[in-house]
Amino acid sequence: MKRAFTARAASLLTWVLLLIAVPTGLYVSHVFNQLGEVRENNLRTLSKAAETTNQILSTALQNVGNLENEPGFICQFLSRQP
């Protein structure tokens, strides 16, 4: 009688553990997928920020080059504005 109870308890324990482990595994998988998407979004945003920074720096270098070539550029700046 005691062996039957032990086998039944072990079987019940196995099912309970499976019912806990399977949804937990699915949830962990979902969380890791979401983290991957957040990481990819952050990398895209960082890439866009790097491109914008590069454009700003190249414009600044061009402006400094204009100032070196034409010292009167600053005086004409306001008159050149639309």
CA-based max dimension of the chain: 105
CB atoms within 10 A of CB 67: 13
pLDDT (0 to 100) of residue 27: 97
Q: What is the mean pLDDT of residues 51-59?
A: 96
pTM for the whole structure:
0.56
According to DSSP, residue 81 is labeled: -
**Alpha helix ranges (H) inside the chain:** 2-69, 73-80
Domain that holds residue 53: 2-80
Count of structural domains within the chain: 1
pLDDT band, very low/low/confident/very high, at 4 (cuts 50, 70, 90): low
